[in-house]
Amino acid sequence: MLVGWSLLALSLVCVRWINPPFTAVHIERRVQSWIHRKPYHKRYTFVRLDRISPDFQHAVIAAEDGRFYGHHGFDWHEMQTAVEANLEKGRGRGASTITQQLVKNLFFGTGRSFLRKGAEFTLVPVAELVLGKRRILELYLNVVEWGPGVYGAEAASRYHYRISANRVDREQGARLAAILPAPLRWRPEHMSDYSAIILERMRQMGW
């Protein structure tokens, strides 16, 4: 187990400079297409952070991790809020940060297990230390799933709006950010209510 963890930690050091050609989620979706004998077309183009519009970046941060620049990988306040909400309502509520989601996307896929969560918990501080916030955000925006076979901001912008990521405006960015919790089921054009909430969060955050 220690050897496996060390390899993952080394991989995090490598992606500080090397853009990942694939992730665990990419592999998972490919295998699922084979098992279910469904067509699969991968859309994945890695672009620099400055090739993703600030509005798009801000929308994702507002939607996924509002305290991204203020924590060190774990948002303990949001975790406490999530636990209280789960106890009160009797249902699950996520509290993963962008760093946690990046680690999960890169190495563990969409499955859930205590073993995976334990490994994720120890790798998140490594990611924060060796990558830094700018690279974490750049990696996340480029690898996260945004539709069937659609990975990253550039592919998402072209797939959903037929434009490049650097041309995404506030409204489009909010709608794209709104589908991240369920990108295989949700579409930007159907996310008016949630995108409005994201836009208000952006306004409150000074964006």
CATH classification at residue 176: 1.10.3810.10
Helix (H) / strand (E) element for 112: namely none
What pLDDT, in 10s, does the model give residues 155-198?
999 999 999 999 999 999 999 999 999 999 999 999 999 999 99
Number of H helices, E strands in the chain: 9, 3
What pLDDT, in 10s, does the model give residues 108-163?
999 877 777 888 899 999 999 999 999 999 999 999 999 999 999 999 999 999 99
58-62, 63-67, 115-119: range with lowest mean pLDDT: 115-119
Number of independent structural domains in the chain: 1
Both tokens assigned to 16: 């500080």
* Distance in angstroms (rounded) separating the CA atoms of residues 47 and 49: 6
Q: What is the DSSP string of 171-203?
A: HHHHHHHHTTTSTTT--GGG-HHHHHHHHHHHH
Q: Is the pLDDT of residue 88 over 50?
A: no
pTM of the complete model: 0.91
Domain region containing 187: 2-204
